[in-house]
Chain A
Amino acid sequence: SQQGEEDPQALSIQEGENATMNCSYKTSINNLQWYRQNSGRGLVHLILIRSNEREKHSGRLRVTLDTSKKSSSLLITASRAADTASYFCATDPQNAGNMLTFGGGTRLMVKP
């Protein structure tokens, strides 16, 4: 079952604008990850944030995690047309073996 729920389901912005996607989950986690999927391709890991971390940066990506609210956000700054893709959050639940639980994804379109 899908634990993570992304919001919004779809987002359309202009190149240069920032894009923010949110993820909510239900159980205690070891970490939370964000993946990107370009059309017709497999998912690619972007960034991981551990349960004891609150914020993490990687290039133009900024991820926050609020374990008290069981939520995370992914911010892409200065978006580019090449950022057009679907973005998925995935949680690594505690006591769930090696499984990740993926959300339904946010479809991001960046218009040139």
Chain B
Amino acid sequence: DAGVIQSPRHEVTEMGQEVTLRCKPISGHNSLFWYRQTMMRGLELLIYFNNNVPIDDSGMPEDRFSAKMPNASFSTLKIQPSEPRDSAVYFCASSPRGQGKENIQYFGAGTRLSVL
């Protein structure tokens, strides 16, 4: 398997623009997680899905952030409008938990977002 695939790897945009980050989880995994990592705040869980259903979005910082998982093989994280403080590395991870397997998470390479 190719692992968790995220796109784009790097995104530079201007304040106020819409940003869409994409994630393809490992085939067969039923849980998907979106994280944000910054030097100041470390690794923060934004939202996670089980079987395509959002379970906990308490980490989503504001209404400007939204996430969807229309099917088992694709998820998006959207920021509209973007602000400079959204600059961070965004990670997607998937896990086979609940399928008789341990809750180990497999991370993508991340999207480095810079909002100017």
Contact = CB atoms under 8 A, between A and B. Distances in A.
A90 B95 CA distance: 14
B48 A44 contact: no
A48 B91 contact: no
What size tier do the contact residues of chain B reach? 20 to 34
A42 B50 contact: no
A45 B103 contact: no
B98 interface: yes
Given A31-B103, A42-B91, A48-B102, A99 B48 contact: yes
21 contacts: A2-B42, A33-B104, A42-B91, A42-B107, A42-B108, A43-B91, A43-B93, A45-B105, A45-B106, A48-B102, A48-B104, A90-B105, A97-B48, A98-B31, A98-B103, A99-B33, A100-B103, A100-B105, A102-B42, A102-B45, A104-B42
